[in-house]
Structure 1
Amino acid sequence: MEGGERSKDKGEVAPRSASGYLDPHYWNERFKSEEHYEWFKDYSHFQHLVRRHIHPSYSVLELGCGNSRLCEELFKDGVTDITCIDLSDVAVDRMRERLLAAGLHGIKVLQADMLDLPFSSQSFDLVIEKGTMDVLFVDSGDPWNPNPVTVKKVMEMLEGVHKVLKPQGTFISITFGQPHFRRPLFESPGFTWSVEWNAFGDGFHYFFYILKKGRRSAESQACHNEKHEPSINMFHEELEDEDYIFRTAIDVMES
């Protein structure tokens, strides 16, 4: 199934307006009834990309876990030191219950704000997020010149990630945001990471960014696996999926 994937019928899940995705109350209410949803495809679609950057010895932090199964999939791939955070206490409680029922006692799940990470400097080998940063852009205005409030929040998130990464750590961001919108933020002064990316998905493209701390050169070399700008042609089922709604809110001016 393309786009997001949900374990139950969707029902009335999306908020009335895109800005509703910024409301913690919306997520609490949603997570009370929704068992599972995967933003931007499930792990199988980008597993080949993740495997290049993980190792069983790594400590991993997942931002905005929601009710995704990403942490379980990373665990199956041999990574056992995993910490997941989410702002929603409902999501955290339900994730803990799910992991306990599955016997995955080594995965830690904490209620925390990605804009104010409660971890010491240089705590993790890898930080990963899938669609979490995109929420900050739902009311950003012109994507070429996002409003100052959005930029401030994004920079707070990135600064926190940069801080908690170990000296040679990696940040993976899985997103709708195209390179010409994301690179100015990722390459802001003060960050020491290099910036690379790949695109994945059939017709409906997503971006897989790899930011390697301590490896930034005078001119970061970006790696793109497509010769042309990604097509935005979508299948019928994608047009009906919530990911499409999310994309139109974030990148309304891209096409």
Structure 2
Amino acid sequence: MTKEKGQPQAYGDESYWDNRYSQDVGSFDWYQRYGGLAPLINMYMPKTNNLLMVGCGNAVISEDMVNDGYQTIMNIDISQVVIDAMIEKYKDMPQLQYQRMDVRSLGFKDGEFDSILDKGMFDSLMCGSSAPTSAASMIKEVRRVLKPGGVYMLITYGDPRVRIPHLKSEEAPWEIKLHVLPRPGSKRAHEGTSRPITEPVSLGEDLTLGPTFKLEDPDLHYVYVCIKRGGNAVKRPSGDAKVDIKLCAKSQLISNYEV
């Protein structure tokens, strides 16, 4: 789908993804493969969890998780084309289920899932039309279908300055932990890091990073571990949550199969 210069891609439209997956018949994992995320997923999501994978696409991460012992993963995507392909591909792997569904309007009951994994789904909506509205609808639905104490793990290019405002609200209070890991193939990945990826990054009381932390780093992925809880509402930070066009451009690089 062709867009005029400066307009967001139609990442929230079913037709965009149907067209894309009709052409891309192979498999592709956005941002990170399971091997890079396994320490975090294993730490926060027990293998007996009833797990939801949002925006599954044609990625193999769910297959890799089953091979690592995960027992039940429901995979959803807005594209019927890719869902049909994945149902056929994994017809002999009963641990994996696939349904065509819009993450902004989930057809699951309240508190149905222990864990929800999002590898690029939120970023996709943030690069589409009506981004703030779509993002708010998604977060509301994600929280609704999570059990109390359940975990929503968001893997994204968005640093806390542009992601926390969407996650932090009176309607959806979370306990939020942040982990940072290098993008596969990046300079940071080759150089290594002294910080284990399982060690959370310290956040301030306002859930932002300190002034010395470099933001908008294209070599980093941010992993927000959002734990559903009750209690007092979290005060919304000042200012409206807006689309970050630079992050959308970085997401487009990844969508062009840069891994």
The TM-score by the shorter chain falls in which range? Answer: 0.7 to 0.9
Residue aligning to 2:143: 162
Residue aligning to 1:120: 109
Partners of 2:169 and 2:234 within 8 A in 1: no
Q: CA separation in 2, counterparts of 1:246 and 1:69?
A: 14
Aligned-partner SS, 1:211: strand
Aligned-partner SS, 2:103: coil
Residue aligning to 1:177: 158
From 16, 26, 44, the equivalent of 1:26 is: 16
Matched, 1:89 2:50: no
Residue aligning to 2:206: none
The one-letter code of the counterpart of 1:131 is G
Aligned-partner SS, 2:90: helix
Partners of 1:175 and 1:206 within 8 A in 2: yes
CA root-mean-square deviation: 2.6
How far did residue 139 of structure 1 move?
4.7
The one-letter code of the counterpart of 2:111 is Q
Matched, 1:99 2:90: yes
Aligned-partner SS, 1:22: coil
Residue aligning to 1:236: none
Q: How does 1:1-255 map to 2 (within 5 A)?
A: 16-17=2-3, 18-34=8-24, 35-100=26-91, 103-139=92-128, 149-201=130-182, 202=186, 203=188, 204-214=219-229, 242-243=253-254
Higher relative contact order (CA 8 A, sep 6+): 2
Q: CA separation in 1, counterparts of 2:176 and 2:161?
A: 12
Unaligned runs of 5+ in 1: 1-14, 141-148, 221-231, 233-238, 248-255
Identical-residue share of aligned pairs (%): 25
How far did residue 180 of structure 1 move?
1.1
Q: CA separation in 2, counterparts of 1:109 and 1:130?
A: 16
Aligned-partner SS, 2:44: coil
The one-letter code of the counterpart of 1:213 is K
Aligned-partner SS, 2:69: coil
TM-score normalized with structure 1 length: 0.73
Partners of 2:11 and 2:128 within 8 A in 1: no
Deviations 1:53-91 (A, max 9, x none): 121221000101000112112212221111000110001
Deviations 1:93-144 (A, max 9, x none): 01111112xx31221100111000000001000011100111111157xxxx
Residue aligning to 1:11: none
Q: CA separation in 1, counterparts of 2:146 and 2:102?
A: 16
Stretches of 4+ moved more than 4 A in 1? Answer: 15-18, 215-220, 244-247
Aligned-partner SS, 1:190: coil
TM-score normalized with structure 2 length: 0.72
The one-letter code of the counterpart of 2:169 is S
Unaligned runs of 5+ in 2: 189-218, 236-245
Q: CA separation in 2, counterparts of 1:118 and 1:99?
A: 22
